[in-house]
Amino acid sequence: MGRVQTTDNAQGAEDWVDREFGEVDLGDARLNRRMLDTVRALGDRPQASLPKALHGRAALQGAYRLFDNARVNPEHILAPHIVSTLDRLRDQPVILGVQDTTFIDYSGHRDTEGLGPLHQKGGWGLLCHGTLAFTPEGAPLGVLGMRVWARDPEQPGRKRTRHSRAIEDKESHKWIDGVQALSRLREELPEARLVSVADREGDVFEFFRQARALGVDLLVRAAWDRRVMGEQEHLWATLEQAPELGCARVTLPERPKRPSRVAKLSLRACPVNLKPPHPLGDSAEPFGLWALWAYEKHAPIGPEPVEWMLLTTVPITSLEEARERLQWYSRRWGIEVWHKTLKSGCKIESRQLESFDQLHRLLVVYGVIAWRILHMTMLSRLVPDEPVSTILAPEEWQALYCRIHRTPVPPQTAPPLRQAVRWIASLGGFLGRKGDGEPGVQTLWTGFQELITLTDMYRIMHPQYSANTKDVRND
């Protein structure tokens, strides 16, 4: 098991925007400076509208020009954060590149240029397919890629022709984009095992083959009862004959109309050789991997029984390995929290810009801002005794301590991460009662708004921190 990577104390004192975006290169020094100032303002007040987050007319106009600038490539915005992510991933023996897609609905902003339909049930906006790096323990260490697109309103119903189109002409190519983003870590992290994790939508044969060609492992939930080599001929029938390895307990996260609960899953696993789908022809080579069937024999009355069929290129030869693969797949829920943070914490669906391109650039910025809150939330649970100085600058944690304890004098030593995060959450309404568990992302968002205001006042009262104060009003 690798050490859960945090930023060291020296970096903790550094402004987080400088750490994640400081090396941004947009081809012009003024653009670079404007990007840093804009990210800092939006990160300070992620729930606020752009006019409220960006103090002053000059800062607001500068941000609008930035997001409207055709020279500002979204990939270049994300690039410095990926470099910072790479540093956090060093010494990790296993890196999970979790992929998933979310709909960004702008049905209330129909005048925005370049958007399109979302799904058959309606909706209008764009789609975002993100790839985030997680440790097996569940620490989100950064955003590796974001593919953003809008569907063409003039070409509805393309799903009917998916079997006749090349993978490059399908939305499912997003899975290949994600695995390519993960594979780019290989040169810098040659000893790490890279595992691309996807839900049922990622059950795409071309995706499997591309991952193998790039030297990336797979862990995908099966959507299809695929044809396999052997007597049973199909995937589920083959796993029904596999030996039962034992059981595992998995905590299912809360969903709409479904409370969180612990499910006891029976585990069966065996190697399988998938036959290629018919459009590729039977002459294509079978794809060898391992299948893990995790299913609930005795589900409680009411909830739908849990059943996952997982396909992976990582061998499963024991109960311990089966439980580990199951744990890896459960990390996929982290990217769903990231999506929720983008929408509820950053209010990304409320942003009113004029075009798809402008929204694309803004979405990448908020993607990293949302990751930052998710990162802090999870680290406080995984490494609770680490000093909070690993993620907050001195004036931030000192302002927090003084506010909570109502004292003008902070301690010499930074408090533990978990304690400080609970203090931040308390500013957002978290009560911390015995049955409340750990604070969630939403209360941390709200608490952070209060902490920003506290820190601004703390800097005014302590001139030694004035050098850290950034003023986005200077254009």
User: 3-class DSSP state for residue 164?
Assistant: helix
Q: Are 390 and 417 in contact (CB under 8 A)?
A: yes
Q: Is residue 206 included in any domain, yes or no?
A: yes
- What size, in residues, is the chain? 475
Given a cut of 80, whether residue 355 has pLDDT beyond it is yes
Q: In percent, how much of the chain has pLDDT > 90?
A: 56
Given a cut of 50, whether residue 11 has pLDDT beyond it is no
Q: Which residues are CB-contacts of 38 (< 8 A; sequence separation ≥ 6)?
A: 54, 59, 62, 63, 66, 365, 472
286: DSSP letter = P
**Mean pLDDT to the nearest integer, 156-162:** 55
Given a cut of 60, whether residue 472 has pLDDT beyond it is no
Residue 12 is predicted with a pLDDT of 39
Q: Is residue 85 included in any domain, yes or no?
A: yes
Given a cut of 50, whether residue 149 has pLDDT beyond it is yes
Among 366, 328, 386, CA closest to 5: 386
**Mean pLDDT to the nearest integer, 103-126:** 90
Lowest pLDDT segment from 118-132, 159-173, 193-207: 159-173
Average pLDDT, the chain: 87
Q: Is residue 441 included in any domain, yes or no?
A: no
**Mean pLDDT to the nearest integer, 273-288:** 78
Given a cut of 80, whether residue 466 has pLDDT beyond it is no
Question: For 348, how many CA atoms within 13 A lie in the half-sphere containing its CB?
Answer: 29
Amino acid letter at 284?
A
Task: Give me the residue label for tokens 């402008």.
Answer: 358
Measuring CA to CA, how many Å separate 267 from each of 97, 251, 264, 294?
24, 16, 10, 5
CA distance 426 to 62: 35
Q: Which residues are CB-contacts of 89 (< 8 A; sequence separation ≥ 6)?
A: 5, 95, 133, 141, 142, 185, 189, 192
Q: Is residue 34 included in any domain, yes or no?
A: no
Q: Is residue 345 included in any domain, yes or no?
A: no
Helices H / strands E in the chain, number of each: 15, 10
Residue-wise pLDDT tens digits, 374-433: 888 888 888 888 888 877 888 888 999 999 999 988 898 999 988 888 888 898 888 878
pTM: 0.86
CA distance 384 to 416: 6
Given a cut of 50, whether residue 470 has pLDDT beyond it is no
**Mean pLDDT to the nearest integer, 89-93:** 94
Lowest pLDDT segment from 112-116, 128-132, 464-468: 464-468
277: containing domain: 24-29+68-332
- pLDDT grade, residue 299 (50/70/90)? confident
Residue-wise pLDDT tens digits, 366-375: 999 999 988 8
User: 3-class DSSP state for residue 149?
Assistant: strand
Q: Are 267 and 293 in contact (CB under 8 A)?
A: yes
Q: Is residue 375 included in any domain, yes or no?
A: no
Enclosing H/E stretch for 238: helix 235-240
Residue 469 is predicted with a pLDDT of 46
Residue 165 is predicted with a pLDDT of 44
Q: In percent, how much of the chain has pLDDT > 70?
A: 90
Among 47, 175, 13, CA closest to 100: 175
Q: Are 387 and 417 in contact (CB under 8 A)?
A: yes
Residue 120 is predicted with a pLDDT of 77
Q: Apex CA 144: angle with CA 176 and CA 469, to 5°? A: 160
Residue 14 is predicted with a pLDDT of 54
Which residues pair with residue 218 across a beta bridge? Answer: 196
Residue 388 is predicted with a pLDDT of 86
And the tokens for 208?
């499997």
Q: Are 367 and 130 in contact (CB under 8 A)?
A: yes
Q: Is the dihedral of CA 375, 378, 382, 384 positive or negative?
A: positive
Q: Is residue 326 included in any domain, yes or no?
A: yes
Q: Is residue 379 included in any domain, yes or no?
A: no
Domain of 111, CATH number, reads 3.90.350.10
- pLDDT grade, residue 285 (50/70/90)? confident
CA distance 269 to 317: 8
Residue 169 is predicted with a pLDDT of 57
Radius of gyration for the chain, computed over Cα atoms and rounded to the nearest angstrom: 24
Residue 9 is predicted with a pLDDT of 36
How many domains is the chain partitioned into structurally?
A: 1
Q: Are 202 and 216 in contact (CB under 8 A)?
A: no
Q: Pairing relation of β-strands 307-312 and 287-295? A: antiparallel
Residue 153 is predicted with a pLDDT of 87
Residue-wise pLDDT tens digits, 49-67: 899 888 889 999 999 999 9
Residue 461 is predicted with a pLDDT of 84
Enclosing H/E stretch for 287: strand 287-295
Given a cut of 70, whether residue 211 has pLDDT beyond it is yes
Residue 48 is predicted with a pLDDT of 85
Q: Are 78 and 364 in contact (CB under 8 A)?
A: yes
Residue 365 is predicted with a pLDDT of 96
**Mean pLDDT to the nearest integer, 252-272:** 86
Q: Of 388 and 364, which is predicted with more confidence?
A: 364
